[in-house]
Chain A
Amino acid sequence: MTKHQGLGALDRRSFLARVALGGAALTAGLPARALLAAGKAPDKINVAFFVETKPTMIAKGEGWFEKLSGGKINWSEVGSGAEINTAITAGSVDIGLAIGSSPTAAGIAQGLPYQLIGMVDNIGPAEEMVVRKSANIKSPADFKGKKVATAFGSTSHFRVLGFLKTNGLTEKDVTVLDLKPDAAVAAWSRGDIDAGYYWSPAKAKMLEGGGDYFPTSKKLDAAGYVIADLIVCRTAFSKEYPDAVTGFLRAYRDALAMFKTKPADAAAIVAKQAGVAPEVAKRDMDEYDFVTFERQLTEDWLGPPGKAGKFASVLKSTADFLVTQKSIRTAPGLEVFQQAINTTFMAQAAKA
C-alpha cells in the first residue's frame, strides 16, 4: 500500500504514458504493483484456500499473489468447496482457490454471485478409488455389500456416485459413508471400511496401509464425469478490481511456469507450505494435470474470452447429475454455465 500511496503524488496520466512506452522494461519486472496502481487496488483480498500440494502454494508461499494483485491478502483455510460457496455468497470471501468442479457447478446452478475465472488442474487419476487388498474387490460387482468412504459434496463423492451409476449399482448395494479424509484414514487403519475415494495425503496413506488402486478415473472421464479444481471469483469483486484479479492469476501463471521449469525448487516450496516432505509434494503434484493458461484458453477447456469452451458442458452435466442426487434443486441451461465462465482476466494474465 505504501507504494500505491506514493504514486498518488505523480501525475497519473504521464505515469501511465511512460508505463505504456516502457514496454519491455515492464515485463522485465518493473513490477506489476506499479502497473496496478493505474487501476484501483483493493485494500484487502479475502482468499479461501486449501492446504494442498499444488503449484498455487508456490505463489502463496513466495508472496506472489500479494505482490501481483496489489492487495493485502487475507487467507482463510477451508475444508471443502461448500464452505467456499457459502463464504462467497455471504460476501466474506472474494476468491476461492482450487474449489472442486462439483461444488462450483452446484454454485453456478444456484446462482451464487461468482464467476469461474480459471482452472488449477484436471484431477484425472489424482483422486482415485483405493480398495483394501484383503477385501478382494476385483470387479465393480464385488463392491456389493462393501463399505466405501468418501467426503460427501466433494469431487471424489461425485466420482463415487458416477462409478455406482455407470456400473448399475445403487447406494442400497454399496454402503457409501461420509467421512472427512482424516477420519477415513483412522477408519481405514481400524479396518472399518473396504474402500475409499480420496485425494492425497489420505489416498497415499490408504495405499501404504494395505490398499490397492481400483482404477476408475479413465472410464469416468470418458463417461463425462470429468472433475477439476477451479478458481472462482466473486463477481462484484472482479468488476470493481479487474486488475487485482488479473494480477492474482498472473501470480499463479508464474508459479505454474516455475513448476514446469524448476520442479525440484517448486516441490521444496510447496512441501514447506503444505508441511510434507519434498518427495511427497513432488509425487502428489505429478498425479495432477496442471493445465497451462494457453490450453485453458482453448475450446477444449474454458475457451477464449466471450466464447466458453467445452468445460461449460462438464459443469452443466455435473449440475444435472447433482439434481438427480437431489443435492441441488434445479439446474439451468448450458448458457448459464457458459456465461459463468469469464476468461478475460486469464487472457490478460497470459499475455504479459
Chain B
Amino acid sequence: MSAPFESSGREDAALGPRGTALTAGRLWRWLGDFRITLASLGILLFLWCVLTVGGLVNELFLPGPALLWDGVLDLIENGYRSRTIWEHAGLSLERVLAGFGTGAVAGTLLGLAMGASRQIEAFFSPLVEFFRPLPQLAYLVLLVVWFGIEETAQIILLFLTALPVSAIAARDGVRSVSLQRLQAARSLGASQWQVFRHVVFPSALPEIFTGARLAIGVVYATLIAAEIIAGSTGLGWMILDAGRFLRSDYVFAGIIAIGIAGLLLDRLLLIIERRIVHWAGKD
C-alpha cells in the first residue's frame, strides 16, 4: 500500500504539472509497484469469493462478501449494542491517541534523558527493559484493582505499552549521534544545551519517529486487551463480543475498520516524519 505515497513525488513530475492527458497507459505506468499491490488484493478477493460463494467454508468461520457487506451496512445503520459504530470507533481512537500520546511523549523525554546521562539510564533501564516485553494481560487485573474499570485503567495500560518502546528508541537515537558532529559542535564553542538542541536532538529524531510508529503499532495491538477490562464500548470490545457468538460478519467488519484506521494513523505519522526529518538517511 505504500506505493502511492512513496512514488507520488517522483511520478507527478513525469505526469507533468500542466495536466498532460491521462491515458490508460499512463495511469498504468503511474501506478508503478502499486500494480503489484493491486494484484495481491485482487488475489485475496478472488480466493475469498471462491471459498465463500461455493459454500466451501462455513459462514461462521468466514463470511462471504455479501454477508460481510450486510454486516457492515447493519453496523453503520443500527450500531452495535446501543451505540453507533462511530461512537465505538471514536472511543477506541480516543483511547489509542490518549495512551499513545502520553506514552510516546513521556517515553521520548525519558529516552532522551537516558541517552544523555549514564546515571539516568542506570536508574530507569531496569524498569523500561522489564516493561517492554511484558504481556499486558499479565497485569490487567491489577490495573482494574488499582484504577477501576473506567477509562483510566485502559489509558494507563496503553500508556505503559507505548512508553518503553518510545524510550528505547529515543535513547538509541541519542547514542547514535556521530562523535565527529559532537566534537565539531563543541570545538565551535557550543554549550551543553546547544549541543543537545542543535546536534543531538535532530540526529535522534529519525529514530524517535521510528519508535513512535512502532509504539502506535503495539498500542493498537493492546487496544483489544484494554477494552476487555471495562467492556461495552470500543471496536476492540465489539470484535471480542461479536466473536462470542461467532458473529463473523461483525468480527470481520470490526477487523477491517481497525486495520484501516491503523494504517491511516501510521501513514499520518509517516507524513509528519517526512516533513520534519526529511533529511533522514541522507548523511
Contacts and interface: CB of A to CB of B under 8 A. Distances in A.
Interface in B147-174: 148-150
B247 A328 contact: yes
Contacts of B148: 187, 190, 192
Nearest to A176: B232
Interface in A164-184: 170-172, 175-179, 182-183
B244 A82 contact: yes
Nearest to A89: B60
A188 to B, nearest CB: 10
B224 to A, nearest CB: 13
Interface residues of A, number: 32
Contacts of A170: 82
Contact of B149 (A110, A171, A177): A177
Contact of A187 (B80, B82, B144, B245): B144
B214 to A, nearest CB: 29
A327 B74 CA distance: 13
B230 interface: yes
A192 B150 contact: yes
Contact of A190 (B145, B229, B243, B245): B145
A85 B74 CA distance: 24
A152 interface: yes
A224 to B, nearest CB: 20
A172 to B, nearest CB: 6
B241 A152 contact: yes
Given A183-B229, A326-B80, A178 B141 contact: no
Contacts of A152: 231-232, 241, 244
Contact of A182 (B81, B141, B232): B141
Interface in A267-317: none
Interface in A131-178: 152-153, 170-172, 175-178
A251 interface: no
B232 A178 contact: yes
Contact of A186 (B60, B82, B144, B231): B144
What class of interface size applies to chain B in its complex with A? 20 to 34
A152 B230 CA distance: 12
Given A110-B60, A187-B149, A178 B241 contact: yes
A171 B141 contact: no
Given A110-B60, A178-B231, A171 B245 contact: no
Contacts of A106: 245-246
Given A89-B60, A186-B141, A192-B150, A177 B230 contact: yes
A161 B232 CA distance: 14
B82 A153 contact: no
Interface in B182-236: 229-232
A186 B229 CA distance: 11
B208 to A, nearest CB: 36
B145 A186 contact: yes
B207 to A, nearest CB: 38
Interface in B29-72: 58, 60-61
Given A176-B232, A183-B141, A187-B144, A328 B149 contact: no
A175 B60 contact: no
Contacts of A192: 148-150
Given A186-B144, A192-B150, A89 B246 contact: yes
Interface string A184-218: 00110110110000000000000000000000000
Interface in A82-124: 82, 85-86, 89, 103, 106, 110, 112
A112 B82 CA distance: 28
Interface in A56-89: 80, 82, 85-86, 89
B219 to A, nearest CB: 21
Contacts of B81: 171, 326
B100 interface: no
A86 B61 CA distance: 10
Contacts of A186: 141, 144-145
A336 to B, nearest CB: 16
Given A110-B60, A177-B231, A187-B144, A80 B244 contact: yes
Interface in B3-35: none
A116 to B, nearest CB: 17
Contacts of B247: 326-329
Nearest to A170: B82
Max chain A CB contacts within 10 Å: which of B78, B230, B232, B245? B245
B180 to A, nearest CB: 55
Contacts of B229: 183
Interface string B96-137: 000000000000000000000000000000000000000000
Given A110-B60, A186-B144, A187-B144, A327 B245 contact: yes
Contacts of B149: 177, 179, 183, 187, 192-193
B150 A328 contact: no
19 contacts: A82-B243, A106-B246, A110-B60, A110-B245, A112-B60, A152-B232, A153-B241, A175-B232, A176-B232, A177-B149, A177-B230, A177-B232, A179-B230, A183-B229, A189-B145, A190-B148, A327-B244, A327-B245, A328-B247
Shortest beta-carbon contacts, A-B, top 7: A178-B231, A153-B244, A82-B244, A171-B82, A327-B245, A192-B148, A186-B145
Given A82-B243, A89-B246, A177-B149, 7 more contacts: A82-B245, A85-B246, A175-B232, A189-B145, A326-B78, A327-B244, A328-B245
